[in-house]
Structure 1
Amino acid sequence: MSKEISYTIEEVSQLLKVSKLTIYDLIKKGDLPVFRVGRQMRMDAKDLDHYISNNKTNQGTTPPAQELHQQRMEPRASKNIVISGQDIVLDILGKHIEKSSTYKALRSYSGSLNSLIALYNGECEIVSLHMFDGDTGEYNLPYVKKILVGYPYILINLVSRKAGFYVQKGNPLHLTTWADLNQENVKIINREKGSGARILLDEQLRIHDISSKNINGYGHEETNHLSVASAVSTGIADVGVGIEKAAKIVGIDFVPLITERYDLVLLKTPENEKLIRMVKETLSSQLFQSEINSLGDYDHSQTGSIIYETY
């Protein structure tokens, strides 16, 4: 690549086929150097090439002839699995599963409800959920019971995390409750239909008897937490709903309003027996939990706990 070429964070995430949250985390750790043009972060092509080169496995090594022959005679059959959801924790889960098995973890970045429907349609294997039910005050299970009718499944806790408002530094409009959104001078940035953050907002509006028609900016949508946080950071909106991690990455203030349970659901089929066992072992491992703990802003006290299971 030419030294004059540089990429936006969005372009880097597309090139590496990971979420923008993963890229921001690598930047925060110092693994990927960036520079700024105004408010936009960019990355030199040579720095991206250097990162990719340094993280390739088996660099400069050639297996012995006998080992190479054995690899050819006894290939390890791999099976693709799709993990759906946006959180960086899912990237870490996929990495651990790949290290311990012949599974190849592919990522889909759909929102919770759309992911659950995709699971129903057989389009993915592991789905992450954070869907609040206003009638019960519970996360995820009410939706799973309604959508996975007739399917055996298991619901396992991944992590818990804070959800709330993204606001500008100092919270100039003093937004602290859901009712505060019902003001003409407050402009929100929304998430797409089917996302957990959108469901949380809609349920809270329903509970507080607030019409979405009265919410300034309700129809302006973004498709991930970072984009919503960035819109607040740049002044496009005054407030958005999302998780604490993205606020810290972007550098804005966060008003916590609820602790959400972020769960995984898998179908209990004969083909999935090994995968379910692998997921349980991974979530319960000290190595995985230590890696999650190092990220900050996640509660792993229930990680690996079975929330609900059909028999």
Structure 2
Amino acid sequence: MTVTNSLQEIRKKRKLSAAELAQRVGVSRQTIYAIEGGVFVPNTAVSLELSRVLDVTVEEIFSLTEQQTGEPVKADLLPIVQVNQGQPVRLCRMQGRLVAVPATFMPGYLPAADGIIESRKNASVLVKSPVSLPAQGERLILAGCDPALSLLQDALRPSAIEIVSVLAASRLALDWLKQGKIHVAGSHLLDHATGNYNVPIIRRLLPKASLRVITFAVWEQGLVVKRGNPKSIRSVADLARNGVTIVNREKGAGSRDLLDSSLRQLRIPFKRVKGYRSIATGHLEAAYAVAAGHADCCIASRSAARCFALDFVPLAVERFDLSFTKACLESTVARALIDVLHRSDFRKKLQFIAGYDTTHTGEVLV
């Protein structure tokens, strides 16, 4: 049995905002959003208080429905990695259709997953799941490469709001947003013609899309090197020296763009940089390659260097933004996410743990 509710409909009929209802009931606004999105079932006391404040019965707000599980369901596959039969996936809804996101593995642990792939045909998969399928608006797919997106996930967890975070280079994330495969894209791309980050490029890549672009944070990108910097790597020019090996990022990554533009300015051919064709996906994987001794240097965020106690030589200050479709902004999860960006405790965590500048966090750019 699954609990469904009509809370949002009743609240709007009473002309109450989520914040007003939360204040009257004595809960947070995120809790109201979580209940409305079907991702949190309140206890008896909260249910009775909602009933009293809204002047309806509990049964008018909440009801039980039967939901069949176990039968394979068809889903569009988000093509992050090569997938095979039996691979675990997360399931999310995008504009009424299911999207299967390959589950993220961590060494030593099974990934959180909703089911496994039973079969695949082109970009579609059949997924067998033992659990109830997520409701529309229950989860949000966020693609990007900022390691601190995990802090955003953690901040939303107490409200039972769930983000399925997908590691992706900036341009790939924006391509997926354009194709309607994800809800939110994270990017840090410099437009060299204007000197501005993200917005000019987003407008070129998605000229007809109705978007909202919001600042996540400002960070430092630079050269991540071994502790003590034994190769004395001080600038991008040093990457062309004999005896220096790098690990690069995939095409479309902001870090790759920074390296390529720096090499062009110095008139250094890419082929002179040993390891240029060696690819790591994401800031943390690149930094780990340095920590493990597979490379002497990579370009990544200062937060990635911190994770592995590596040294860092700053090259650029960049802005990481989140792009939402305006339709997505109407969802419970998106509203809760944006609320978190304005919370002082979340900003302090970004500052302390990731070392980010949060002066403009939550600022609407478009």
Decide whether aligned partners of structure 1 residues 170 and 98 sit closer, same or farther in structure 2, where only a CA change above 3 A counts.
Answer: closer
Equivalents in 1 of 2:205, 2:166: separation in Å? 19
Residue number in structure 1 paired with 2:361? 303
* Contact 2:224/2:312 (8 A) holds in 1: yes
Among candidates 291, 312, 329, match of residue 272 of structure 1: 329
Distance 2:109 2:315 in 1: 30
| 1:129 Cα deviation after fit | 0.8
Calculate the aligned-residue CA RMSD, in Å.
Answer: 2.5
Cα distance, 1:179 vs structure 2? 2.2
Which of 123, 127, 133 is the matching residue for 2:185? 127
User: Aligned residue for 1:115?
Assistant: 173
Q: Note closer, same or farther for the CA distance 1:179–1:272 as it changes in structure 2 (3 Å cut).
A: same
Aligned partner of residue 305 in structure 2, secondary structure: helix
What residue in structure 2 maps to residue 166 of structure 1? 224
Match of 1:90 in 2: 149
CA contact (8 A) 1:83 1:94 kept: no
Unaligned runs of 5+ in 1: 1-8, 18-75
Does the C-alpha gap of structure 1 residues 226 and 13 become closer, same or farther in structure 2, counting only changes over 3 Å? farther
Q: How does 1:1-311 map to 2 (within 5 A)?
A: 10-12=106-108, 15-16=111-112, 78-97=137-156, 99-100=158-159, 104-269=162-327, 271-274=328-331, 276-307=334-365, 309=366
Q: Which residue of 2 aligns with 1:28?
A: none
Which structure ranks higher in relative contact order (CA pairs < 8 Å, sequence separation ≥ 6)? 1
Contact persistence 1:155–1:264 (CA under 8 A): yes
Distance 1:129 1:206 in 2: 22
Deviation at 1:279, TM superposition (A): 3.5
**Alpha-carbon distance in 2 for matches of 1:77, 1:266:** 16
Once the 2 structures are TM-superposed, how far is the Cα of residue 222 of structure 1 from its aligned partner?
1.0
Using the TM superposition, give the Cα deviation of residue 91 of structure 1 relative to its aligned residue in structure 2, in angstroms.
2.5
Tell me, what secondary structure is at the counterpart of 1:306? coil
Cα distance in 1 between the residues matched to 2:208 and 2:246: 39
Structure 2, unmatched stretches of 5+, are 1-104, 114-134
Considering fraction of residues, name the structure with more helix: 1
Please state how far the C-alpha of 1:267 moved relative to its aligned partner.
1.3
> What do the CA deviations read for 1:23-82 (whole angstroms, capped 9, x no partner)?
xxxxxxxxxxxxxxxxxxxxxxxxxxxxxxxxxxxxxxxxxxxxxxxxxxxxx8753210
Larger radius of gyration: 2
- Which secondary structure does the structure 2 equivalent of 1:172 belong to? coil
| Cα distance in 2, alignment partners of residues 14 and 229 from structure 1 | 23
For 1:235 and 1:114, locate their aligned partners in 2 and report how far apart those are by CA, in whole Å: 28
Any idea what SS the aligned residue of 1:11 has? coil
Q: Structure 1 residues 12 and 118 mapped into 2: Cα distance closer, same or farther (>3 Å)?
A: farther
TM-score by length of 1: 0.70
- The number of residue pairs the alignment matches comes to 241
SS at match of 2:186: strand
Q: Is the contact made by 2:147 and 2:304 (CA closer than 8 Å) also made in structure 1?
A: no
